[in-house]
Amino acid sequence: MFSNSNILITGGTGSFGKRFVATLLERYQPRKIVIYSRDELKQFEMSNMAPFAEHDDLLRYFIGDVRDLPRLERAMEGIDLVVHAAALKQVPAAEYNPFEAVKTNVIGGQNVIDACLASGVKRIIALSTDKAAAPINLYGATKLCSDKLFVAANNHRGARDIRFSVVRYGNVLGSRGSVFPYFAQRRTSGVLPVTDERMTRFSITLQQGVDFVLDCFQRMWGGELFVPKIPSYRILDVAAAVAPDCRVELVGIRPGEKLHEEMITDTDALNTVEFDDYYVILPSAHLWDVEDFCSTSGTQPGRRVPFGFRYNSGDNPRFLSAEELRTLAATERYA
């Protein structure tokens, strides 16, 4: 699917985008990769980094904003596959600048959909977040709205050979703005500010996130919301892994923050199918035969989750230890 294809990624200069492009270059032979983002400096820096600098022949850097529909349509000419990763994702910034988050995360998402429908794109995956499940902050609410837009886009494809799906996962280990690099920066102060000692989060590495998205391109029928089975961590274990000699100072939960994150609520569970290493929240509209989907989409047949199921970081059966977190952080160069 990826070799000999033209692929575009919005927000392509971000943490996920760079790892996604690097993985495509390492494993496949794409015809062209378009990095669509609004920051010329980040594009310049990326173009001079390994392994991107060695692939000037197939990388294209498009300056543009997902708020700009005509620019998106121009960038998507001849594109086969799209990953929509562009977003305003900082919770406090979204709370302080609410409509800016709406313009990028909601209106920008609809612009991506419209540009794909107009340009002959075949497959689109939009990245979501655990904060979109039962959201209590504006960022989560805008991403939930975006998720709904991308799922519903399948209702309007007409005769086009096009599929829209969504991938939702938890905190990306070592990504910009995550707790790992923040704690690493605070080590020299001797004090780590922790919001609440009970706090837990889902955890996934950048490479695991990229691999899951690549797998979902192969699995997608259109309209699914894919959720990987991933471990959780406790915030105090992160502190012990990154800065074991620092004193922890409790500062209180920030506005819009949860003690535990969810990726599947008990209401979502009514429409959720479990496979060996991931879940799928099915589209509310009847787009295809669910039984056929369950029997052919995984290495083992899918099965409905039990009544009352929920996927919550606080009662996840798998937690990473401080030692495991230390090893992962070292892999991501933030230990």
E strand residue ranges, the chain: 6-10, 32-37, 59-63, 81-84, 123-127, 163-167, 171-173, 191-194, 200-205, 225-228, 232-234, 247-250, 262-264, 272-274, 278-281, 303-304, 311-312
Helix (H, G, I), strand (E, B) or coil at 100: helix
Q: Number of C-alpha atoms within 13 angstroms, CB side, residue 193? A: 8
Q: Is 22 inside any structural domain?
A: yes
Q: Is 116 inside any structural domain?
A: yes
Q: Which of 18, 89, 103, 131 does the annotation list as catalytic?
A: 131
The mean pLDDT of the chain is 93
Note if the pTM is more than 0.85. yes
Boundaries of domain holding 20: 6-168
Cβ-contact 54, 27 below 8 angstroms: no
Q: Is 223 inside any structural domain?
A: no
Say which range, 47-51, 228-232, 251-255, 260-264, has the weakest mean pLDDT: 251-255
Kindly report, residue by residue over 20-41, the tens digit of the pLDDT. 999 999 999 999 999 999 999 9
- The CA–CA distances, whole Å, from 144 to 20, 129, 324 equal 23, 9, 31
258 contact partners, CB below 8 Å, separation of at least 6: 136
Q: Is 132 inside any structural domain?
A: yes
Q: How many domains does the chain have?
A: 1
Task: Name residue 127's beta-bridge partners.
Answer: 167
Task: Report the C-alpha gap between 240 and 243 in whole angstroms.
Answer: 6
Q: Is 141 inside any structural domain?
A: yes
Q: Is 55 inside any structural domain?
A: yes
Is there a catalytic annotation at residue 131? yes
Residue 131: give its domain's CATH number. Answer: 3.40.50.720
Q: What is the DSSP letter of 284?
A: S
Task: Report the C-alpha gap between 192 and 202 in whole angstroms.
Answer: 20
Position 334 confidence tier, pLDDT thresholds 50, 70, 90:
very low
Kindly report, residue by residue over 284-296, the tens digit of the pLDDT. 888 899 999 998 8
Task: Report the C-alpha gap between 89 and 82 in whole angstroms.
Answer: 20
Q: Is 262 inside any structural domain?
A: no
Position 181 confidence tier, pLDDT thresholds 50, 70, 90:
confident
Q: Is 242 inside any structural domain?
A: no
Q: Number of C-alpha atoms within 13 angstroms, CB side, residue 166? A: 28
